[in-house]
Amino acid sequence: MTTLQHDLVIIGGGLAGLRAAIEAARTAEKAGKSLDIAIVSKVYPVRSHSVSAEGGAAAVLRDYDTFDLHAMDTIRGADFLADQDAVEILVNSAPSEIIQMEHWGCPWNRDEDGHVSVRAFGGMSVKRTVFASDKTGFHMLHTLFQTSLKYTTITRYDEWFVTSIIADDKEVHGIVGLDISTGSFHAIKAKAVMLAAGGGGRVFAFTTNGSICTGDGMALAYRAGAPLKDMEFVQFHPTGLPNTGILITEAARGEGGYLINAKGERFLEKYIPNKMEMGPRDIISRAIITELEQGLGYGESKDGFVHLDLRHLGEKHLKSRLPFILELTRTYMGIDPVIEPIPVRPVLHYMMGGVHTDNDGRTPLKGLYSAGENACVTINGANRLGSNSLTECLVFGARAGSAAAGYIFETAGSDKDLSTFAERDETKIRTRFLTERNRGEKVSVIRKELQATMEEGAGVFRTAKGLNGSIEKLAELRERAQRLQIKDSTRTYNLELVGALELDFMLDVADTIVQSAHNRQESRGAHVRRDFPERDDEKWLIHQQANMTPKGLKIKKSPVTITKWQPEERKY
Ligand SMILES: Cc1cc2nc3c(=O)[nH]c(=O)nc-3n(C[C@H](O)[C@H](O)[C@H](O)COP(=O)(O)OP(=O)(O)OC[C@H]3O[C@@H](n4cnc5c(N)ncnc54)[C@H](O)[C@@H]3O)c2cc1C
């Protein structure tokens, strides 16, 4: 087995990973130094989940807007749990990143006067979300991918699945990856490793997230000894299509769509009258669930729905601004939004938590960096505002790429011999999953039960009893997952094996979510405890960091950085 070697290994070829790789290469170019960069991705990079982002990216680009207003919106949206120094970096750097994307070829929509168009988004005081139709992620990802091809110092390992990070308690030495196309394991030595492996929405049953969003990067960091921060905060998007969970972008409300209940009422008047459809996602999701619980929606409350009405916007506007929404609704629901309202219900969409980093993507483990949805900087606190995440991938991807390059220039690199590590992972994985592989249960059975218990215990509304139930269920599933039935014994493209490895990561990620949620005895942002309905700043204006220890999960608390916006009641 060969040991490969690069200076920087980036796990993930989505927006954050590509932006980081490009910035690392540019930093080296500017410094006149050489830097050998690798991107390892379990799918071809343009199939990363970023490709499915619809609505847009937030940045202050108009005279009527200010950095302070964008920061305040973000901090209030986060229910004051965002680190305000990080938010200031986000809003200050966002415009130059958006302009840079334009220069690299991103086809932002434009107004007739030539300005880049902006649209309204939930929780934002003014129109500040730039977009490329309703396929923003597709265009941004392709722009970065084609830009990355310019740099000959970037090598790609497409369809390689990272199975572990090689680290001791002092520093990182590299990774082990499974080449999915051949079934062979390889160690890649690196002076720095960056996790840009995205989120883990698939730990829930009903989600907008692609099937590859299994939280691998979070679990990889956690196992290597880096803490996972704010994991209790997961975001439910108010408008998913029933059954599939396909996202109907917030831009549909930004363009003027209404939410109505079965009585034909615009029910948000009862919950958030000043913002209505432009309220933040946590509040609107709770409003929908409350309507359903009161029998004011359609269908059973557990999988009932309300309506999103776009009819008054007219076919011409819908075709120009929301063509993808027309296509998705017609294809997957058989419903034409031009003449019929769209059924929608809250759907798991995003993870605010992730690997704890500083503002340059550094984790507490020397040489390990993280950016994008994988990381928790944190600008999102207890609730992310829509369209801040694409911007986060650009701003903090670039900062992490540049910081990692700087670190590598100063680092000799370890002299650790990695030749046995690929074999170690291969033996462990083959012994556990492929020898006597008929003795256990199917991956799909355990995954289904895992997703069901997360919906049950860690949904929009939570209680100690429900969370306890999920904690116990996860312990049982972890035990059962030690024995899995994998029918496919081939080496090439053994996606059943990949599914088993993903399930193993999901179990770790799910555990950090429910345990952190059980511990936080208050309600804040997207984390609402029916047994602790108030926000409690005195006790809980803090981050929780989950650490893996030999005795199980241990939570450490860390302060929230406040710069100039003192916490106050979150009112809209
Ligand atoms: C349907 C949808 C619509 C959205 N719309 C918007 C929007 O309009 N505006 C907004 O701001 N945000 C939006 N978001 C959120 C935003 O798109 C994501 O948070 C962001 O794109 C994540 O980018 P990323 O680079 O961090 O990760 P991803 O794009 O998810 O990329 C992760 C990468 O990691 C790789 N990877 C993962 N595990 C492994 C492993 N074990 N080994 C090797 N490689 C691995 C994958 O192959 C992939 O390349 C949306 C999200 C969804 C799901």
Kindly state the tokens that stand for 430.
């083959």
Determine whether the shortest distance from the Cβ of 350 to ligand 1 is under 6 A.
Answer: yes
Express each pLDDT in 96-153 by its tens digit: 999 999 999 999 999 999 999 999 999 999 999 999 999 999 999 999 999 999 999 9
Express each pLDDT in 535-553 by its tens digit: 999 999 999 999 999 999 9
Mean per-residue pLDDT of the chain = 96
Centre of ligand 1 from the C-alpha of residue 380, in Å: 15
Count of domains forming the chain: 2
Residue 26 pLDDT: 98
pTM of this structure? 0.97
Residue 215 sits in a domain of what CATH number? 3.50.50.60
Ligand 1, atom 53, lies closest to the CA of 209
Determine whether the shortest distance from the Cβ of 389 to ligand 1 is under 6 A.
Answer: yes
Task: Please tell me whether residues 487 and 409 are part of one structural domain.
Answer: yes
Give the number of the atom of ligand 1 that is nearest the alpha carbon of residue 397: 25
Q: Where are the beta strands (DSSP E) in 91-191?
A: 129-130, 154-158, 160-167, 172-179, 184-189
Q: Is 237 a catalytic residue?
A: yes
- The arithmetic mean of pLDDT across residues 323-333, rounded, is 95
Determine whether the shortest distance from the Cβ of 17 to ligand 1 is under 6 A.
Answer: yes
Residue 140 pLDDT: 98
Q: Which of these is catalytic: 237, 307, 356, 570?
A: 237
Q: What is the DSSP letter of 214?
A: S
Task: Please tell me whether residues 345 and 463 are part of one structural domain.
Answer: no
Check whether 51 has a pLDDT greater than 90.
Answer: yes
Express each pLDDT in 424-437 by its tens digit: 999 999 988 887 66
Q: How far does the chain reach from its first CA to its final CA, in angstroms?
A: 59
- The arithmetic mean of pLDDT across residues 206-220, rounded, is 98
Q: Is 480 a catalytic residue?
A: no
Cβ contact 79:535 at 8 Å: yes
Residue 437 pLDDT: 60
Task: Please tell me whether residues 369 and 493 are part of one structural domain.
Answer: yes
- The arithmetic mean of pLDDT across residues 366-392, rounded, is 97
Express each pLDDT in 468-509 by its tens digit: 999 999 999 999 999 898 989 899 999 999 999 999 999 999
Check whether 10 has a pLDDT greater than 80.
Answer: yes
Centre of ligand 1 from the C-alpha of residue 491, in Å: 28
- The arithmetic mean of pLDDT across residues 281-288, rounded, is 96
Cβ contact 526:517 at 8 Å: no
Domain boundary among the residues 349, 370, 399 is at 349
Check whether 458 has a pLDDT greater than 70.
Answer: yes
Task: Please tell me whether residues 180 and 226 are part of one structural domain.
Answer: yes
- The arithmetic mean of pLDDT across residues 329-355, rounded, is 97
Determine whether the shortest distance from the Cβ of 11 to ligand 1 is under 6 A.
Answer: yes
d(CA 347, CA 247): 8
Report the residue among 390, 396, 498 best suited for mutation to probe ligand 1: largest number of ligand atoms under 8 A from its CB. 390
Give the number of the atom of ligand 1 that is nearest the alpha carbon of residue 55: 8
Task: Please tell me whether residues 153 and 197 are part of one structural domain.
Answer: yes
Residue 298 sits in a domain of what CATH number? 3.90.700.10
Picking from 416, 412, 413, 402, the residue whose alpha carbon sits closest to that of residue 369 is 402
Structural domain harbouring 214: 1-233+352-572
Residue 438 pLDDT: 62
Check whether 441 has a pLDDT greater than 70.
Answer: yes
Task: Please tell me whether residues 157 and 208 are part of one structural domain.
Answer: yes
Q: Name every residue whose Cβ is closer than 8 Å to that of residue 406 and which is 6 or more positions away in sequence.
A: 27
Task: Please tell me whether residues 180 and 311 are part of one structural domain.
Answer: no
Domain boundary among the residues 317, 334, 349 is at 349
Task: Please tell me whether residues 523 and 377 are part of one structural domain.
Answer: yes
Task: Please tell me whether residues 508 and 545 are part of one structural domain.
Answer: yes
Task: Please tell me whether residues 561 and 530 are part of one structural domain.
Answer: yes
Handedness of CA 129, 134, 140, 141 (dihedral sign): positive
- The arithmetic mean of pLDDT across residues 372-387, rounded, is 97
Q: Which of these is catalytic: 128, 253, 432, 570?
A: 253
Centre of ligand 1 from the C-alpha of residue 251, in Å: 19
Using a pLDDT cut of 90, give the percent of the chain over it: 94
d(CA 354, CA 218): 6
Task: Please tell me whether residues 97 and 191 are part of one structural domain.
Answer: yes
Q: Name every residue whose Cβ is closer than 8 Å to that of residue 331 and which is 6 or more positions away in sequence.
A: none
Report the residue among 49, 281, 495 best suited for mutation to probe ligand 1: largest number of ligand atoms under 8 A from its CB. 49
Domain boundary among the residues 333, 349, 365 is at 349
Residue 434 pLDDT: 83
Task: Please tell me whether residues 333 and 378 are part of one structural domain.
Answer: no
Ligand 1, atom 33, lies closest to the CA of 12
Residue 1 pLDDT: 61
Q: Which amino acid is at 395?
A: V
Give the number of the atom of ligand 1 that is nearest the alpha carbon of residue 161: 42
Determine whether the shortest distance from the Cβ of 109 to ligand 1 is under 6 A.
Answer: no
Residue 2 pLDDT: 67
